[in-house]
Chain A
Amino acid sequence: MAFRSRPAEVLKVAAASPSIAQALRQEPTLDVAELDPSAGEQRLRTGKVALLVEPGAAGAVVYRYDDTNPEGRTARMLADRAVQRAAGRADPVPATDGIIREAGSRYVDFLVPGLVGLGIMSNTLWGLGFSIVDSRRRKLTKRLIATPMSRTYYLLSYLVWRLIVLVVEVGVPIGFGALAFGVPVRGRVFDLVIICILASLSFSALALLISSRARTIEAVSGLMNLAQVPMWILSGVFFSAQRFPDAVQPVISALPLTALIDALRAHMLQGAGLPQLGPQLGVLTGWLLVCFVLALKLFRWR
């Protein structure tokens, strides 16, 4: 399986002289290829090696690598250690390694909550949005508002529908993640239920707002994409949102998907409870209230 724990990865490096290559081979986590400088240059540029070590003037070495790439930086450190030790450096402090491998810090553990959040958002927005627009287009909504039916109850019924579907929407990915990859769920189940219910209501309200006036499937599709794409990129689904500049972080934190995914990660991986998740739950509640009220006001019934 893709994410099972493996031994630490070996980094590929190139050495431009035999003596350097020999020194580097002392480091077990480096895979050393001995190449002439131009071939080494080529491999470095195409990313096939993380580091190229060349001999410099008067016995020095030159490390060629991309310092924005973590692998490049790691390779440089390992290579330098190997080179220095081969030249006689002694490390005065004896050190041993105690390896810890814990579920919760792998990429898959980061990813599954992200996917659960993405799933809730996508299913809710597309499912609810299309249903509303289709109903409006076929004049079913128009027929219904000619009766004494309560309009608020009509919109609320969509929220209830999504809550029922939520059981499968959340249960399946989390269950699959736990069974197949051992992704932990460290928090209380009750807290998880509350988080997911709140998120479902929140995204349902957003969906109601987005589809409140659209008359065609094409129009609502465009609006849905407009709403979701920023969140796909910014909300930390596949990679941490911390990578974005500080100035944007407040905006990112205010997005409903970010709040949901942060809450899910904290709950599942760190066992956080509802009190610790106040800010995230607050963001979701805020979106729920504002969107539902606006949707009720703006809704095109006929």
Chain B
Amino acid sequence: MALPETRPALRVTHLRKTYKDVVAVDGIELNVPAGQCFGLLGPNGAGKTTTIEICEGLTKPDSGDVEVLGLRWASDAQALRQRLGIQLQETQLSDKLTVFETLQLFRSFFDRGPAPDEVIALVQLEEKRDARVVALSGGQKQRLALACALVGDPDLLFLDEPTTGLDPQARRQLWELIEEFKKAGRTILLTTHYMDEAERLCDDLAIMDHGKVIARGTPGVLVASIGADHLVELSTTGASDVDLAALRRVAGVRDARAENGSIRIQATELHRSVPALLEELRRQGIPLTELSTHSATLEDVFVSLTGRHLRDE
């Protein structure tokens, strides 16, 4: 069913949800056009799962409006559920059913959709078709969960942290699958705390922290917004004695922060800033033990906005 071009696939306004005394979602606004892959990027506890579960109709918000595919949960719940595909964070499925039986079960709930075997082929679980869920690896279970989300031929796909807990190869496999669906023109709302996932998959992003959206834009725009293309990380033996203000005055340096015994510097031109930084450190009499640089990423955007990292480790 084609959506009129002007109507967004998902529109969220003034969303608020409080649990006891914790404000999980604090005034979120979202506008996702059809056919886009939109990401909610943020650390654990940012309110991403609460937001997506409100959009999925699993949680009722305290206030605010949620319009999904032009419909609302209060009035059109059954119609909406037919058109959505959902992958929860940490779903477990019935251990004793086989892959095929699980998909048969989920397919039976929907009025239309592909045959279970087609979806099994899509997620590349053919050789595990008759294996029980309990015998699958973590990556295979996630692929099965994704298949369950697709078996109703949804217009809008919700993926809540689809690659958390997976090894790098499994993650990459899942990304390739998700990219296939993007090509098919499906709208996707994705939550994640991995910046590489957000950069690779999302056409547009909202960065969340403590229940609020703190930045919005495409990955490229967001990275450019910190105004520094490069990150320099230094380790010194006496990091706490470093005069950060002096480092900030070095040519091409945007910001300097000390954390965990190392110094993190945002710089625009490495070829000018690095030698000047080394000179400054030598002048301050601080010996250098390590030096590394990388191009700015969304992680660095988050750090510059909040002073914290996306992942607790």
A-to-B contact residues, CB < 8 Å? 138-140, 142-143, 145-149, 302
How many residues of chain B are within 8 Å of chain A by beta carbon? 20
Whether B92 contacts A138 by the Cβ 8 Å rule is: yes
Measured in the bound complex, the distance between the Cα atoms of B111 and A302 in whole Å is 24
Whether B92 contacts A146 by the Cβ 8 Å rule is: no
Question: Can you sample 29 A-B contacts with CB below 8 Å?
Answer: A138-B92, A139-B91, A139-B92, A142-B58, A142-B88, A143-B88, A143-B91, A143-B93, A143-B148, A146-B56, A146-B57, A146-B58, A146-B81, A146-B84, A146-B86, A147-B81, A147-B86, A147-B106, A147-B109, A147-B110, A147-B152, A148-B78, A148-B81, A148-B82, A148-B110, A148-B111, A148-B152, A149-B109, A302-B58
Q: Does B90 contact A (CB under 8 A)?
A: yes
Residue of A nearest to B89 (CB): A139
Whether A140 contacts B106 by the Cβ 8 Å rule is: no
User: How many Å from the CB of A157 to the closest CB on chain B?
Assistant: 11
User: How many Å from the CB of A60 to the closest CB on chain B?
Assistant: 77
**What 8 pairs between A and B have smallest CB-CB spacing?**
A148-B81, A147-B109, A138-B92, A149-B109, A146-B86, A143-B91, A148-B109, A148-B82
Whether B93 contacts A140 by the Cβ 8 Å rule is: yes
B-to-A contact residues, CB < 8 Å? 56-58, 78, 81-82, 84, 86, 88, 90-94, 106, 109-111, 148, 152
Measured in the bound complex, the distance between the Cα atoms of B78 and A293 in whole Å is 21
Measured in the bound complex, the distance between the Cα atoms of B278 and A147 in whole Å is 59
Measured in the bound complex, the distance between the Cα atoms of B88 and A142 in whole Å is 9
Residue of A nearest to B95 (CB): A138
Chain A residues whose CB sits within 8 angstroms of the CB of B57 once the complex forms? 146
| Secondary structure class of chain A's binding surface, majority of residues | loop
Residue of A nearest to B91 (CB): A143
Chain A residues whose CB sits within 8 angstroms of the CB of B86 once the complex forms? 143, 146-147
Chain A residues whose CB sits within 8 angstroms of the CB of B94 once the complex forms? 140
Residue of B nearest to A140 (CB): B92
Measured in the bound complex, the distance between the Cα atoms of B93 and A138 in whole Å is 8
Chain A residues whose CB sits within 8 angstroms of the CB of B111 once the complex forms? 148
Residue of A nearest to B107 (CB): A147
Chain A residues whose CB sits within 8 angstroms of the CB of B78 once the complex forms? 148
User: How many Å from the CB of B96 to the closest CB on chain A?
Assistant: 12
Chain B residues whose CB sits within 8 angstroms of the CB of A146 once the complex forms? 56-58, 81, 84, 86, 88
User: How many Å from the CB of B10 to the closest CB on chain A?
Assistant: 16
Measured in the bound complex, the distance between the Cα atoms of B58 and A146 in whole Å is 7
User: How many Å from the CB of B110 to the closest CB on chain A?
Assistant: 6
Measured in the bound complex, the distance between the Cα atoms of B80 and A148 in whole Å is 8
Chain B residues whose CB sits within 8 angstroms of the CB of A140 once the complex forms? 91-94
Measured in the bound complex, the distance between the Cα atoms of B148 and A302 in whole Å is 18
Residue of B nearest to A138 (CB): B92
Residue of A nearest to B83 (CB): A148
Measured in the bound complex, the distance between the Cα atoms of B53 and A139 in whole Å is 13
Measured in the bound complex, the distance between the Cα atoms of B77 and A148 in whole Å is 9
Chain A residues whose CB sits within 8 angstroms of the CB of B58 once the complex forms? 142, 145-146, 302
Chain A residues whose CB sits within 8 angstroms of the CB of B93 once the complex forms? 140, 143
User: How many Å from the CB of A151 to the closest CB on chain B?
Assistant: 11
Measured in the bound complex, the distance between the Cα atoms of B180 and A204 in whole Å is 45
User: How many Å from the CB of B23 to the closest CB on chain A?
Assistant: 20
Residue of B nearest to A135 (CB): B94
User: How many Å from the CB of A139 to the closest CB on chain B?
Assistant: 6
User: How many Å from the CB of A38 to the closest CB on chain B?
Assistant: 69
Residue of B nearest to A149 (CB): B109
User: How many Å from the CB of A152 to the closest CB on chain B?
Assistant: 13
User: How many Å from the CB of B160 to the closest CB on chain A?
Assistant: 11
Residue of A nearest to B158 (CB): A146
User: How many Å from the CB of A302 to the closest CB on chain B?
Assistant: 6
Give which listed residue, B82, B90, B106, B109, contacts A139 with CB less than 8 A. B90
Beyond contacts A143-B86, A143-B93: 7 other A-B pairs, Cβ-Cβ < 8 A, are A140-B93, A142-B58, A142-B91, A143-B88, A145-B58, A148-B81, A302-B58
Most interface-central of B106, B109, B152 (chain A CB within 10 A): B109
User: How many Å from the CB of A67 to the closest CB on chain B?
Assistant: 60
Residue of A nearest to B106 (CB): A147
Residue of A nearest to B80 (CB): A148
Measured in the bound complex, the distance between the Cα atoms of B110 and A145 in whole Å is 12
Residue of A nearest to B110 (CB): A148
Measured in the bound complex, the distance between the Cα atoms of B86 and A146 in whole Å is 7
Measured in the bound complex, the distance between the Cα atoms of B94 and A143 in whole Å is 11
Measured in the bound complex, the distance between the Cα atoms of B133 and A143 in whole Å is 15
Most interface-central of A142, A145, A148, A149 (chain B CB within 10 A): A148
Measured in the bound complex, the distance between the Cα atoms of B107 and A148 in whole Å is 10
Chain A residues whose CB sits within 8 angstroms of the CB of B148 once the complex forms? 143
Chain B residues whose CB sits within 8 angstroms of the CB of A143 once the complex forms? 86, 88, 91, 93, 148
User: How many Å from the CB of A18 to the closest CB on chain B?
Assistant: 76
User: How many Å from the CB of B60 to the closest CB on chain A?
Assistant: 11
User: How many Å from the CB of B230 to the closest CB on chain A?
Assistant: 42
Residue of A nearest to B148 (CB): A143
Whether A139 contacts B152 by the Cβ 8 Å rule is: no
